[in-house]
Amino acid sequence: TTHKLLLLPGDGIGVEISREVERVIAILNGKGGPNSFEVERDLVGGAAIDAHGVAITEEAMAKAKTADAILFGAVGGSKWDDVPYEIRPEAGLLRLRKDFDLFANLRPAICYPALADASSLKRSLVEGLDILILRELTGGTYFGEPKEIVALENGQKRGVDTTIYTTSEIERIVKVACDLARKRSGKVHMAAKWNVMKTGVLWRDVTVATHKDHAPDIELELIVADNCAMQLIRNPKQFDLIVTDNLFGDILSDEAAMMTGSLGMLPSASLGAADPQTGRSKALYEPVHGSAPDISGQGLANPIAMIASFAMALRYSCNMAAEADVIETAIAKVLDNGLRTADIMQNGLTKVGTEEMGKAIAAEIETALA
Ligand code: NAD
């Protein structure tokens, strides 16, 4: 199988970390196995604004449409602070999310043993941690209307956000959660606030019904979202997969992520609905971090989040779980060997730049596949 990838490096360190992913792709292609990759490239974000006046061109969108997976670096930077709001760098990412209806956001929080001391929690709590937060990405409080600030007659203002969810929006994300859980520990937590929110009641009822109809083999536990936030700190390893709405997912995924050390370590995936004919989902893979203007162009960026995002693409879009494991093991080995980019540096270990880290991971992958 030839998998079509669209690589959109973007701006700042997005460009630097994308080179390291290309290095890994080249190694997999060089192995001549049953799977290979055809990589197309295009501009997104500030780079696309500079070249074409828009954050993503129709041509790039057409490439994205035919790609099996989109690999996205990062966008933004102060150079584009003054461009009109509609064409700002982030508009490229938002267009991709919207046009492909990427409603399921997967944020793994994996604590590599070598980095357990970089966490703000005790080693015993986080060592070996492997949680997946599944966040609904296209509905809820961030998109519901009305969304406004209204001036009142008494001189005060009133801010309004509206949380809206429909049965089908909840059903489809809970199905994704159950399907993912089947490939993991077989257990799902669903976090919502049915004690005080009507959307929470709907989340609870639809989750229970969907679980009963679609995945009775999966163990389901309902948890109130604020208790979930507390339990994540108290005993994070009790969780394997947490599915939740857009707002709670935003907060819980950041909380879980920070247990693992640095922003430079965190991959993510955003999946759309499965195509009824092929069964495949449109998917975009990206590091959680931004374009890091403070370190861009200096070869300091940690490429691990980007490389781990590619591993997620192999797992979820290319049916190449074994190769994804090889990449994740290679990352763990390089960390075990004491190599660190500046963001995860610890006393007594070896400080390396973006390229050296990328090359070391690539070498481990090459050895594992030899
Ligand atoms: P950021 O994630 O770019 O950086 C935050 C801090 O983390 C910085 O100190 C940075 O140096 C560090 N950092 C981030 N990634 C790193 C890596 N791989 N290796 C080492 N250190 C790393 O967030 P920010 O500074 O708030 O935003 C910078 C720009 O990125 C802004 O224009 C923002 O809008 C944009 N942004 C884009 C995305 C995206 O493309 N999805 C996400 C967040 C922010």
Ordered alpha helix ranges (H), the chain: 13-30, 46-52, 58-66, 90-99, 123-126, 167-182, 198-214, 225-234, 246-258, 304-317, 321-336, 354-369
DSSP states of 2-50 as a string? EEEEEEEEESTHHHHHHHHHHHHHHHHHHTT-S-EEEEEE---THHHHH
Residues recorded for the chain? 370
DSSP states of 103-150 as a string? -EEEEEEE--GGGGGGSSS-HHHHTT-EEEEEEE-SSGGGTEEEEEEE
Give the separation between CA 131 and CA 200, rounded to whole angstroms.
Answer: 23
pTM score: 0.92
Residue 319: left (phi > 0), alpha (psi -120 to 50), or beta? left
The pLDDT of residue 178 = 97
Catalytically active residues are: 142, 193, 226, 250, 254
Q: Are 245 and 192 contacting, i.e. CB atoms less than 8 angstroms apart?
A: yes
222-261 as b/e, with b when 16 or more CB fall inside 10 Å?
bbbbeebbebbeeebeebbbbbbbbbbbbbbbebbbebbb
How many CB atoms are closer than 10 A to CB 134?
Answer: 26
Mutate-to-test residue for ligand 1 from 17, 80, 94, 291, highest number of ligand atoms within 8 A of CB? 291
Query: 287 alpha carbon to ligand 1 midpoint, in Å?
Result: 10
95-114 as b/e, with b when 16 or more CB fall inside 10 Å?
bbbeebbbbbbbbbbbbbeb
Query: 301 alpha carbon to ligand 1 midpoint, in Å?
Result: 10
Does the beta carbon of 305 sit less than 6 angstroms from any atom of ligand 1?
yes
Does the beta carbon of 307 sit less than 6 angstroms from any atom of ligand 1?
no
Query: 292 alpha carbon to ligand 1 midpoint, in Å?
Result: 4
Of 299, 368, 370, 282, the C-alpha closest to 97 is 282
Does the beta carbon of 236 sit less than 6 angstroms from any atom of ligand 1?
no
Q: Which residues contact 164 (CB under 8 A, 6 or more apart)?
A: 139, 140, 143, 144, 199
Query: Which residue type does 75 have?
Result: V
Q: Which residues contact 197 (CB under 8 A, 6 or more apart)?
A: 163
Of 80, 82, 4, the C-alpha closest to 36 is 4
Task: Provide the residue-wise pLDDT of the chain in tens; the chain has 370 residues.
Answer: 999 999 999 999 999 999 999 999 999 999 888 899 999 999 999 999 999 999 999 999 999 999 999 999 999 999 999 999 889 999 999 999 989 999 999 999 999 888 888 888 999 999 989 999 999 999 999 999 999 999 999 999 999 999 999 999 999 999 999 999 998 999 999 999 999 999 999 999 999 999 999 999 999 999 999 999 999 999 999 999 999 999 999 999 989 888 887 789 999 999 998 888 877 889 999 999 999 999 999 999 999 999 999 999 999 999 999 999 999 999 999 999 999 999 999 899 999 999 999 999 999 999 999 8
Give the separation between CA 244 and CA 107, rounded to whole angstroms.
Answer: 12
Query: Which residue type does 215 have?
Result: A
Does the beta carbon of 88 sit less than 6 angstroms from any atom of ligand 1?
no
